[in-house]
Structure 1
């Protein structure tokens, strides 16, 4: 199985909200706000104790294709898929995580930072990778330098990207989608400001389509 399935999961969406959700109680209102803002997918990071439950509740919403992020082990990948994850994202390339995701039949997007990382992903049969952390690594200059020798590879840059930088990334043909936390930051979630999350999501979705 190739990870071309990631493009199918995204369904043309080019914004991937990256969510670190501190409380399970926030899952439902957050899913509502994202969907109301026009988001069609979301990545729940496995950085909090309740991430698995948050993912399960958001996946049950029905309006979003929800995946798991910051997946570091095959066990995490297995639990994420059992909770309803449609895809898996890792901060780096781990052969065991990739193998487990292929066994489970879900697209996996490993993080890469070098040409060597991209070559490892290609050897594993993957065609979509996550440039991470995109901005600290050099942003678009680095992405374009990596894309040049690997013309069939698609990138999902994540890390340090905000609304002001999003359009420039999406204008590059090597970019499948952009991941970012700015539409639903932990601070907004702590305040329960779902109206602002909806507004920021709608703005980002509009920018992604222009």
Structure 2
């Protein structure tokens, strides 16, 4: 059986790397200075560099099931996502934090179904998205709404990180909530003033975070009458 991964590694070295060798050399000598922390779902269909047009050294990436952000509790622990957030903000001094969910997300769908008993870590991890679920039977519309609600939930959770909140309030960091619609090839960005996700093709900005000094509290994560359980 051909070793496709080995072939790809060799193509990177012979075909791709020479085009960017000088840039990689500079990134080694000068260090990395990414401007954006990108927290995205691990789904293979979500490709951050394709979405953003970014090149080497521009994005600091965190990938996990569902694009979830763990709560900040102030205690030391072994949590990769939390550590990456702290490193990106405190050491790399990023100017933007993007939380990017997507359509047809298996992690979000799993919130409405069964998880294998062997997947003990996955079960615990999925609890980070429970608050975004709707009290209805799963449908395409409910899944989309839950995916979007989860993105905003993670933005709200980011604001509980002291180093993030301080810099957002100082105007040093901007938060962005994105929902990538795979089948349409378009990202919908969260507009806090409209309380909705807007296609990037018609949006006036790349998304606004959950912080508004005049109106604290949860945003967009509401359960309106239209989603009330049917009797």
TM norm structure 1? 0.29
Larger Rg: 2
- In terms of fraction of residues, the more helix-rich structure is 1
Task: Identify which of structures 1 and 2 has the higher relative contact order when contacts are C-alpha pairs closer than 8 Å and 6+ apart.
Answer: 1
